[in-house]
A and B are shown apart, each in its own frame.
Chain A
Amino acid sequence: MNDVSPFDEMLRSDRSVRDAYQAFETWFSSEDPAHLRAKAREAEAVFRLSGITFNVYGATGAGERLIPFDIVPRIIAAREWAKLSKGIEQRVRALNAFLHDIYHRQEIVRAGVLPVEMIARNDAFLQQMIGVDPPGGIYTHIVGVDLVRTGPDQFYVLEDNARTPSGVSYMLENRETMLHMFPELFAKNRIQRVSRYPQSLHSSLAASAPRRCDQDPVVAVLTPGIHNSAYYEHSFLADQMGVELVEGHDLRVVDGRVAMRTTEGYRTIDVLYRRVDDDYLDPLNFRPDSQLGVPGIFDVYRAGGITIANAPGTGVSDDKAIYSYMPDIVEFYTGEKAMLENVPTWRCSDPDSLAHVLDNLEELVVKEVHGSGGYGMLIGPTASKKDIREFRAKLEARPSNYIAQPTLALSTCPIFSKAGLTPRHVDLRPFVLMSPNGIEITPGGLTRVALKKGSLVVNSSQGGGTKDTWVLEDD
């Protein structure tokens, strides 16, 4: 760990308040802490009443928890955001082009930029998607680009989530909660709206309707069901968009289209926003033991009878080994250097990199190539000797399963604790919508915060919390 304090979103190193936080700090310092604590408890009660709960995998009994919400917003200046947006847009365009390419001519492999094993040995690569042309050529209708900040002008992309990125419901509910509890803050700060997201999502999805659609496009959200940890978000988005929330057993292939069983008979769906993994989508084409999918839906998809968002096979880009090639991928498809930087990454499949990683385990963060949720990773600087020993063994057994990165000094943002404002590490997940009509990025996104002092793990499944994220209007 280096000795320099991490970049703090609110305070400069001389403890003065950054411009973006001035108005907030003025308000905060004049508020009675007891009142704020009461408000924080009120927020929790509102979340509980709304049922915004999170089922932790593996929990027994009453497994419903709340993701803790912190009342101090993470504030981003308009100028900073404008710069980030450009970089995010560039990246998402490149991602989509990459997916189209690898499922067609694989030019990036032919050009020798990406080794063929990156795709050939990639579990998320779906042979069945080769040659398929999704409507508008859009694979990644919804992307969450995870960013971290390490300095005043230094952001890194931590990972690209192009499969089924989640958390947008928290982004929206956090804003609603802040508006409800502290309306005066919104009079004193001019903040860009996020409430348009559900309408934008619906337009985006509807614009991606298949050729065979001959009506006002019918959109539906496919959920694995009420026992899924993210069920609240599925129902929230369906509700906000005004569309049906379906499960696999509500659907059936009828006359080459996919239809849902309504009280009046089967009704055709044009666009399915699916929150079910590729593997479970279709027991006839993928895992035959899946109870969550629709037999034959993939055949309908290939024939252009339904749009599936995100397209099957986008998991390739969630792969951390592919991540390490993203700068090359961006350059290959856009002809430009990537505006957003990647975290320097060592691929353990490469012998030299593996040697370096094994020599420096105590200083590095090592992640599984296909991992998610913050599981299966080693944070060298905070790991015990035993953890490091065990991880070394795993690494040596299957080096190609891992990548390593230097520990980043993630920026901190204050949380409101019993001791007042105190800094905690944060990241940022902006949500990007892509359709034939273009790309739309909701201002800000979800800020996740590691609630334990000094911890770098922000994932909700491991005790992280969230904040409202403000992008200020241009002055």
Chain B
Amino acid sequence: MLGKTAGGLAWMFRYLERSENLARLVETGQRIALTRPDRAESEWASVLKTAGVTASYKAHHDDVTGEQVVDWILRGKDNHSSILNCIEGARMNARLVRTALTREVWEAVNECWMTLCSELSRKVIPRDLPRTLGVIKQRSAFVRGALHGTMLRNDIYDFARLGTFLERADATARLLDVKYYVLLPSAAGVGSTLDNAQWEMILRSVSAEGAFRMVHGRNRKPADIAKFLTLDSRMPRSLAFCYSKIGDNLGYLESDYGIRMPSHDMAETMCQDLNHATIETIFENGLHQFLQNFLKRNGELAVQIELDYRFSQ
């Protein structure tokens, strides 16, 4: 396949993953704002920070309000990472790599775009927000379903998955990093309602409250949450899970093409580090430092993959 196509696939799926994560983030922010109105402003500030759009938001707004933040993230014209712009980016990349997609995957992405262009053509009023966010998640699920159901498991599929998991790893690490101070051991045992809200936010953002309860029971210790989302290889949004998938897909590419690239070694090292890490050693060395380092290495791996597989000249 063309290097450009590999890049287009990876970006298409990065954009889809990003928009889905943003939808969950907004949903969580909305819930916290409604149930904990005294904390609303700071929660929305966290949402902006997690989405990585604080600077662009501040350049266009004087204050932080839920209504403005939601609109900015959903459809801010000048927000390069708005959900609408991400879906537009996904569709544009899908057009670019059209010949690599099954008809069903293409139609799912195209219909997602058409639907969202319509849904987000005007500001979404609070009453309609749950429905709109539901549509975004549903449409993303259709694409995922079409991908899994119809795409041949060849290099095309591998690049799509790499895009998804590089983005997801980035998103989870950011989410944790914005909140790292409430996950520190010193916060344990305090059990204030403030901290509970924060933990709830983190778990909700990744749809993980139920799963967490199954693994760790009802007692929410911050260290367990940190562990769940970094090291638990069964949790589909954890760093460990993302990297096991990244390792798998790079491995299939290595075997398909019969050649090992620098990105294989980089990914393998990261997988091993995550396998050998314990939450205790992570806290010892500093959770914030760990996450920052992870984000840096994740970014470097993405760049190396682009080079190894010739995404551009």
Contact = CB atoms under 8 A, between A and B. Distances in A.
Interface of A: 48-51, 62, 226, 231, 235, 238-239, 244-247, 249-250, 260-265
Contacts, number: 57
Interface string B147-185: 000000001000000000000000000000000000000
8 contacts: A50-B110, A226-B92, A239-B99, A244-B2, A250-B2, A250-B3, A261-B4, A263-B309
A51 B106 contact: yes
Nearest to B117: A62
B2 A226 contact: no
Band of interface residues on B: 20 to 34
A113 to B, nearest CB: 45
Given A246-B2, A247-B4, A250-B2, A261 B310 contact: yes
Nearest to A46: B107
Nearest to B311: A263
Q: Which of A238, A260, A263, A264 has the most CB of B within 10 A?
A: A263
A207 to B, nearest CB: 22
A264 B2 CA distance: 9
B96 A263 contact: no
Contact of B257 (A51, A247, A249, A263): A263
A264 B257 contact: yes
A231 B97 CA distance: 12
Given A226-B92, A226-B95, 11 more contacts: A48-B114, A50-B107, A231-B95, A235-B99, A247-B4, A250-B3, A250-B4, A260-B2, A262-B2, A263-B2, A263-B155
B313 interface: yes
A263 B1 contact: yes
B98 interface: yes
B25 interface: no
A195 to B, nearest CB: 16
Contact of B98 (A239, A249, A262, A265): A239
Nearest to A260: B2
Contacts of A262: 1-3, 310
B6 interface: yes
B111 interface: yes
Shortest Cβ-Cβ A-B pairs, 7 listed: A235-B98, A239-B99, A263-B309, A261-B3, A263-B6, A226-B95, A238-B99
Contacts of B117: 62
Nearest to A221: B99
A261 B2 contact: yes
Contacts of B110: 49-51
Contacts of A249: 4, 313
Contacts of A62: 117
Interface in B105-150: 106-107, 110-111, 114, 117
Contacts of A265: 310
A250 B98 CA distance: 16
Contacts of B95: 51, 226, 231, 235
Contacts of B259: 264
A246 B1 CA distance: 10
B313 A49 contact: no
B42 to A, nearest CB: 38
Contacts of B310: 261-263, 265
**Interface residues of chain B: helix, strand, loop or mixed (majority):** helix
Nearest to A240: B99
Nearest to B155: A263
A246 B5 CA distance: 9
A249 B6 CA distance: 15
Nearest to B108: A49
Nearest to A244: B2
Contact of B96 (A49, A226, A264): A226
Nearest to A241: B99
A49 B3 contact: no
A410 B203 CA distance: 69
B147 to A, nearest CB: 17
Nearest to A245: B99
B244 to A, nearest CB: 22
Nearest to B101: A239
Nearest to A261: B3
A261 B99 contact: no
Q: Which of B1, B3, B111, B309 has the most CB of A within 10 A?
A: B3
A121 B92 CA distance: 42
Contacts of B99: 235, 238-239, 244-245
Interface in B256-313: 257, 259, 309-310, 313
A177 B310 CA distance: 38
Contacts of A239: 98-99
B179 to A, nearest CB: 38
Given A226-B92, A226-B95, A239-B99, A49 B2 contact: no
Contacts of A48: 114
A246 B97 CA distance: 10
B163 to A, nearest CB: 14
A49 B313 CA distance: 33
Contacts of A247: 4
A62 B313 CA distance: 30
A260 B310 CA distance: 11
Contacts of A250: 2-4
Contacts of B4: 247, 249-250, 261
Nearest to B111: A49
A204 B19 CA distance: 44
Nearest to A243: B99
A263 B106 CA distance: 22
A244 B99 CA distance: 8
Nearest to B308: A263
B3 A263 contact: yes
B199 to A, nearest CB: 42
Interface string B201-231: 0000000000000000000000000000000
Interface string B1-28: 1111010000000000000000000000
Given A238-B99, A244-B99, A49 B107 contact: yes
B86 to A, nearest CB: 17
B263 to A, nearest CB: 12
A260 B117 CA distance: 35
Contacts of A231: 95
A239 B98 CA distance: 8
B310 to A, nearest CB: 5
Contacts of A263: 1-3, 6, 155, 257, 309-310
Nearest to B114: A48
